[in-house]
Amino acid sequence: MKDRLLQYLSCPSCGGAIHLASAAARESAEIIEGELACSSCRRNWPITRGVPRFASLESVEDDKAATAANFGWQWQHFTQFDDKYEQQFLGWIAPVKPEFFKDKVVLEGGCGKGRHTQLAAKWGARDVIGIDLSAAVETAFAATRDLPNAHIVQADIYNLPFGRVFDYAFSVGVLHHLPDPRAGFKSLSSKVKSGGHLSAWVYGAENNEWITRFVNPVREGLTSRLNPRLLLQLSKIPTALLFVATKTVYGPLNRSAKGASLARHLFYNDYMKAIAGFGWREQHCIVFDHLVAPTAFYISREDFADWWRDIGVHDAEITWHNSNSWRGFGRVKD
């Protein structure tokens, strides 16, 4: 934890100021072991392996803990970074561009292995804070510790240890895995300053009926309950099918105008085209990701628009992404 993170923290219980109570071990600019304390209610939180710990899997409900545990394992295994992440991220948060981040204080709701926190920091954010409930914070901290403007915090998105201090907050691929996605979205938005901005990307209900009808029952009843190491091996079977399809059909066809005119009639073409450039390991991660989560909601456009109206944003820019998901961007009002 870097000392400059303190200016953004506030007690999740009483809203009081948080101070550094002790720093038992430091490495360069990072406090590796120590303790934080609330100046008002005297609550304490540890700093362990460089990460402030405002929540743990033992302190949250079973459904949240199960989802966080599975994703934590995933992001500690699939630690790779890919040059294509930048374009993928920009697709999820469009119309936001890299220059939008400059000099902003940014919050990421659900940072996973830290790939988007890292990009936001490199694009010039004054400070970017990535929060996650899972053990993925270990991977995220390792990926961002050398960036002076990047911070990782273990916290529950429903009970964030911040005041309303952020110029921009975003959440990519996380809200639909929460037990109450709308409440998670509302909690994230509550930390954005008046006049600041918010982005969110969620699975769409539209065009995903084949997943909700056929894949979800298998995921809920079987694959999310398996030992992750076993699922890692079993998921190689659908990954092989996906890999062959993207590398021999979808990818080649979409590289030419004539081929693309044919490909647009193929099943799930927009999404398959989007992931065709990824190699085996990343495609394996994508398949594993869809099979490991105990909880996954598919959100209709109407419901997603309601989320924005609920927080007072009536002019959110909601757009269809890869013909299977919704992305939203809006300005937060008083």
The pLDDT tens digits along the chain (334 residues) read: 999 999 999 999 999 999 999 999 999 999 999 999 999 999 999 999 999 999 987 777 877 888 889 999 999 999 999 999 999 999 999 999 999 999 999 999 999 999 999 999 999 999 999 999 999 999 999 999 999 999 999 999 999 999 999 999 999 999 999 999 999 999 999 999 999 999 999 999 999 999 999 999 999 999 999 999 999 999 999 999 999 999 999 999 999 999 999 999 999 999 999 999 999 999 999 999 999 999 999 999 999 999 999 999 989 999 999 999 999 999 998 7
Please indicate, yes or no, whether the overall pTM of this predicted structure exceeds 0.85.
yes
E strands, the chain, in order: 18-27, 30-38, 44-48, 51-52, 105-109, 127-132, 150-154, 166-172, 192-203, 317-321, 325-331
**Residue 333 pLDDT:** 86
Interatomic CA distance for residues 240 and 87, integer angstroms: 24
Interatomic CA distance for residues 287 and 271, integer angstroms: 13
**Residue 65 pLDDT:** 84
**Residue 58 pLDDT:** 77
CATH class, domain 54-204+300-331, is alpha beta
Q: What is the dihedral of CA 315, 110, 118, 328, to 10 degrees?
A: -20
**Residue 180 pLDDT:** 97
Sign, CA dihedral 241-283-224-321, equals negative
Residues carrying CATH 3.40.50.150, the chain: 54-204+300-331
Find where tokens 């970074």 sit: 81
